[in-house]
Amino acid sequence: MMNPSSTGKKPTILDIAKALGISTATVSRALHNNQNVTEETRAKVLQMAKKIGFKPNLAARYLSSKRQMRVSVNTLKGTTSFWNEVRAGIEEERKSLDLENVQIEFRTYQDLGDSEIAAFEAALEAGVNGIIAFPSNPDSMRPLMRWAARSKIPVVYVATDAPETGRLAVVSIDTFASGALAADLMGRIVRGSGKVAVTLFDAHITEHAEKFEAFQSTIKKFYPNLSVLDPIEDRDTDTVSYEKTRRLLEQSPDIRGIYVTTELSMPVIRAVRDAESLDKVTIISTDLFPQLVEQIRNGAVAATIYQRPRTQGRMAFRALYEHLLEGTNPHAQITFAPHVVMRGNLDFFLKRIAVDTKAKAKAL
């Protein structure tokens, strides 16, 4: 009768406290799964909160809370600008959220494997509150993720998923949309019949397998005159990529197009050029970086699938932040559509990257 819902005002912790005959301090503690609350009172509080439809006022919480958060960002240094952009996006989002209570610790490593693991361990040992990481190898990640889970440290993956590792969420481009879009572009541009190939890092990595799968099924469905060859694994090595591409061109002279699902497109382009096949082979690449820009400009690459690294960074940070500070659980998989970049709209993206970089430089 006199409960807040009937008065039209929004329920506060004071309403919960009064309804239960306890203090707001206790309610606050109960709401946060903190220690120092009886299981019994916690249950009562939670129940009452639900009953009267309590929603915390974030402004009040933010204002009164002195809590500092530390999040670790564990990413690859990278050979292209991809990871720089991801990190920039994270930083950007933190600034735009106007968060002074969040500290970001960047742990950037040169190569995969040990240093990746070391960085993750370091973050856990440093006692950060959350981690944003790139999981290159699910298996080596697993023990560390168990550790993180025990310590209740949420982990958000960027760019690639590592399923069943107990991560809070993964932020990435929709792999199916990427592969299928590349296939459709390829099919429309190539027309006619012949073979098309796909290069990837490793067919066992979810991300790459899915892109290939999407590419292949789309070609089959809409461009039956084209056949898709078995995927070429480049192992992230220039020479491997170059050699395999050369061999491919020798063995299949009727090759009409190549879709490079990774950022390792330069060796492929070089191989096609060296085989003097640039005019008969349509190349669709992934990501966007200075060297590739030239190749798009001169027409060697028809289009590139831009994976919006900055947006990935922003979303990853936002998901982690909201979980940490507001207790919300993000979608387990946050995905979005990649952009198609061709000669025509290339400048739009370059300008955008440049502008943002400048803005960032000025602000620091």
Partner DNA sequence: TTGAAAGCGATACCAG
Partner DNA sequence: CTGGTATCGCTTTCAA
Which is nearer to its own copies, 123 or 302 (by Cβ)? Answer: 302
183 lies in the binding site for its own copies (CB under 8 A): yes
Q: What's the alpha-carbon Rg for the chain, to the nearest Å? A: 25
194 lies in the binding site for DNA (CB under 7 A): no
* Residue 340 token pair: 């198609």
Cβ pair 144, 123 in contact under 8 A: no
Residue 214: which of 259, 249, 170, 254 has the closest Cα?
Answer: 259
* Residue 214 token pair: 């999407």
Query: Site residues for DNA, window 249-278 (CB under 7 A)?
Result: none
176 lies in the binding site for its own copies (CB under 8 A): yes
> Segment near DNA (CB under 7 A), from 27-35, 126-134, 219-227, 258-266?
27-35
* Residue 80 token pair: 């292209």
Q: Specify the DSSP class assigned to residue 219.
A: H
Report the alpha-carbon distance of residue 132 to residue 174 in Å, rounded: 19
57 lies in the binding site for DNA (CB under 7 A): yes
Answer with the entry of DNA, its own copies, none that 337 interacts with (C-beta below 5 to 8 A by kind).
Answer: its own copies
CB of 348 to its own copies, least distance (A): 4
362 lies in the binding site for DNA (CB under 7 A): no
189 lies in the binding site for its own copies (CB under 8 A): yes
Using CB under 7 A as the criterion, what x/- string covers residues 62-101 for binding DNA? -xxxxx----------------------------------
Cβ pair 323, 154 in contact under 8 A: yes
Burial class (CB in 10 A: 0-12, 13-18, 19+), 282: buried
Q: Are strands 339-341 and 301-306 parallel, antiparallel or unpaired?
A: antiparallel
359 lies in the binding site for DNA (CB under 7 A): no
Q: Specify the DSSP class assigned to residue 225.
A: T
> Segment near DNA (CB under 7 A), from 49-57, 130-138, 290-298, 314-322?
49-57
Q: Specify the DSSP class assigned to residue 221.
A: H
Q: For DNA, how many residues bind (rule: CB under 7 A)? A: 32
22 lies in the binding site for DNA (CB under 7 A): yes
CB of 318 to DNA, least distance (A): 20
Among 1, 6, 8, 35, binds DNA (CB under 7 A): 35
Helix axes 309-326, 82-96, angle to 10 degrees: 40
14 lies in the binding site for DNA (CB under 7 A): yes
| Cα first-last separation, the chain | 55
CB of 49 to DNA, least distance (A): 9
312: left (phi over 0), alpha (psi -120 to 50) or beta: alpha
Report the alpha-carbon distance of residue 17 to residue 8 in Å, rounded: 18
Q: Footprint of DNA on this chain (CB under 7 A)? A: 9-10, 12-14, 21-26, 28-29, 31-32, 35-38, 40-41, 54-57, 60-61, 63-67
Q: Footprint of its own copies on this chain (CB under 8 A)? A: 10, 57-60, 62-63, 98, 100, 174, 176-177, 179-185, 188-189, 214, 218, 222, 299, 302-303, 337, 339-340, 342-345, 348-349
